[in-house]
Amino acid sequence: MRFLCSPFSTLALLVASLSSLSNAQSGVGIRLKQIKNLVTFGDSYTDVGPGYSSNGGTPWPIYTAGYAGVKLFPYAKGGATCSNELTYRPFPPLFGSQLPKYFEEKGSLDLQPEETIYTLWIGTNDVGSNALLTGNPGTKASLVAVTDCMVNWVKVLYESDVRNFIFQNMIPLETVPIYAPVSWPNKFWTAERNSTEWSVFMRELVLSGNELTKLKLEALAPKLPGAHIALFDSHSLFADMYSNPGSYLNGTAPVNVTGAIDTCYYEVGATSPRSCVKVEGDANRDSYLWYDELHPSEQADRIVAREIAEVIEGKENRWTSWIS
């Protein structure tokens, strides 16, 4: 199929180019086609396996690498928090596992600072069940300490000559099935709870956490000469997908932002499900915002990948602001 270039699309390309040129001249952001490598950190939302995918298909970093034509170096791990010293979970945390592995391998990797961008998407497990939302014996932190940890990722990498960063904030977790006002016992939480109370508290945790990280990044940036830090607003992107699903979800089934592709229903306190339902066929699955009670769908991840790819390519992006 041929695509004709309209005056409007030509104007849009010109505006994007001028914006990128303006950023480059002011020292803010990155140049067009500057980036050749993408290094990812985070939790299950960003984990690419092997043998694991939180969306039941292809994770967003793999799509992003393809869209932007860059090499992918993945370090994110499912179940991760920022630090197990703050919010303990028996999974590889950012500090204590992912960063040490990166530093161990760094000498053998061809990652020129000018050509490489690093991204972090974390927080879902830090604020969630068995962590700040509910507490557990290993949770010693406040939201302030957790957000300090997240922002410290930039500082630690900067001290090892990293210069280009994308910080992806938390999505509106109160809309995810496990934390929604109308929810059900599931594989992630079977104990009795007040789902309305959970949803309200989660909304406050996410909004407060996102604002704290933004303010802390803005305070840190002037202390890091030569650093380019982008804040990717995952929260606003997913809020828009939730409110305007027809603009993003393109499956053949009716759009669905409250259910999930892979859903299991448990009795309160049960260790095995009462029943499970799984949507089959890619054409139907692409109508869903959520893959299961906690994770975005593959179609939602394609949207994330598309937007992050624009940032990596040095283009103007609706959901991204360059702090430095």
- Three-state secondary-structure class, residue 72: strand
* Within a domain: 74: yes
Q: Do the beta carbons of residue 271 and residue 186 sit within 8 Å? A: no
Residue 254: both structure tokens together? 């009716």
pLDDT at 135: 87
Q: Do the beta carbons of residue 251 and residue 288 sit within 8 Å? A: yes
Long-range contacts of 107-113 (CB under 8 A, 24+ apart): 109/73, 111/37, 111/39, 111/73, 112/36, 112/37, 113/161, 113/162, 113/163, 113/164
Cα torsion 124, 126, 128, 133: sign: negative
DSSP symbols for 137-197: TTB---HHHHHHHHHHHHHHHHTTT--EEEEE----GGGSGGGSSS---BTTB-S---HHH
Question: What are the start-end ranges of the H helices in the chain?
Answer: 7-26, 60-68, 98-105, 124-127, 143-158, 195-220, 234-243, 282-285, 298-312
Q: What is the CATH number of the domain that holds 160?
A: 3.40.50.1110
* Within a domain: 237: yes
Q: What's the domain range around 78? A: 33-172+195-243+298-322
Q: What is the biggest distance separating any 2 CA atoms in the chain, rounded to whole angstroms?
A: 61
Residue 153: both structure tokens together? 């990722």
- The model's pTM: 0.91
* Within a domain: 210: yes
* Within a domain: 307: yes
* Within a domain: 101: yes
Give residue 320's identity as a one-letter amino acid code. Answer: T
DSSP symbols for 247-271: GT---SSPPBSSS-SEEEE--TT-S
* Within a domain: 2: no
> 257 exposed, middle or buried (CB, 10 Å; 0-12, 13-18, 19+)?
buried
Containing H/E element for 119? strand 116-121
How many structural domains comprise the chain? 1
Give how far Cα 98 sits from Cα of 14, 83, 84, 91, 153, Å: 40, 10, 12, 10, 11
- pLDDT tens track, the chain, 324 positions: 333 444 434 444 444 444 444 454 456 899 999 999 999 999 999 999 998 999 999 999 999 999 999 999 999 999 999 999 999 999 999 999 999 999 999 999 999 999 999 999 999 999 999 999 998 776 678 999 999 999 999 999 999 999 999 999 999 999 999 999 999 999 999 999 999 999 999 999 999 999 999 999 999 999 999 999 999 999 999 999 999 999 999 999 999 999 999 999 999 999 999 999 999 998 999 999 999 999 999 999 999 999 999 999 999 999 999 999
Q: Do the beta carbons of residue 59 and residue 53 sit within 8 Å? A: yes
pLDDT at 141: 83
* Within a domain: 117: yes
* Within a domain: 58: yes
d(CA 71, CA 205): 34
pLDDT at 239: 98
- Non-local (6+) Cβ contacts of 103 within 8 A are 160
